[in-house]
Copies of this chain bind each other. A is one copy, B any other.
Amino acid sequence: MTTAPAAVVLLSGGLDSTTCLAIARAEGYRCYALSFDYGQRHRLELECARRVAEAFGAERHLVSRIDLGAFGGSALTSDLAVPKSGSADEVDRHEGVPVTYVPARNTVFLSFALAWCEVLQADHIFIGVNALDYSGYPDCRPEYIAAWETLATLATRAGTEEGRKLRIHAPLMDWDKSRIIARGVELGVDYGLTTTCYDPDGQGHACGHCDACLLRLRGFARLGLADPAVYQPGSRG
């Protein structure tokens, strides 16, 4: 009997990373879910990540504390206002790197995933990055992921063993939000467990107006599905 291969899956508790975990499980990996407590303003994400990891039978769920906030520079970890747009189409037209970009976030996250891979002797990392939505994030591009695979293989014990190679799986890379949701629904994801909003209220209800909410809502709408997430009264959700 062969053992299923192990994979570290980056899990924020949002729609994309949850779908990514579902895909990794469907592909037969034993999944080690990794979340970060990085001073994000709302802690709801971590609670969602915990529930999602449990729902998908992750072997283990680890929350690693890091203080990216010490560097400053992002609306998600500091007091800068989260920008609101009128519609998802308006979000599409944004240019440049949004202020919600956390400096080098995916690089930091992947480096921790790599550390865990080494300890687990795992050769696979799953990350739910997406080049279509949020095209302004430099660390969500295919060439970035390719560079990471090269680096990861060189960086670790695996790279010193003949024929071994670290693989970074980014299955959502080219998918639009609707396709991500459709695949997740197929795999039995309950999106009511996930959170996407950059600016939820005290009860964890989504704002319905930040870029992340707008893109998510449009994704569900295009499939003719209702988003099971709870939105604030009076918001468009």
On A, residues with C-beta under 8 Å from B are 62, 64-68, 70-73, 96-97, 101-108, 110-112, 114-119, 138-139, 141, 143-144, 147-148, 150-152, 154-157, 159-160
Contacts and interface: CB of A to CB of B under 8 A. Distances in A.
Copies in the complex: 2
B154 A151 contact: no
Contacts of A151: 107, 144, 147-148, 150-151
Contacts of A119: 71-73, 103
A19 to B, nearest CB: 23
29 contacts: A65-B67, A66-B67, A66-B112, A71-B116, A71-B119, A101-B157, A103-B114, A103-B119, A103-B156, A104-B112, A104-B117, A105-B115, A106-B155, A107-B111, A107-B151, A108-B112, A110-B111, A138-B156, A138-B157, A138-B160, A139-B154, A139-B155, A143-B154, A144-B154, A144-B155, A147-B147, A147-B154, A150-B150, A150-B151
A64 B151 CA distance: 23
Nearest to A148: B151
For the residues of A in contact with B, the DSSP-based class is helix
Nearest to A146: B154
A64 B159 CA distance: 28
A80 to B, nearest CB: 12
A155 to B, nearest CB: 5
Nearest to A37: B67
Contact of A115 (B64, B103, B115, B156): B103
A107 B115 contact: yes
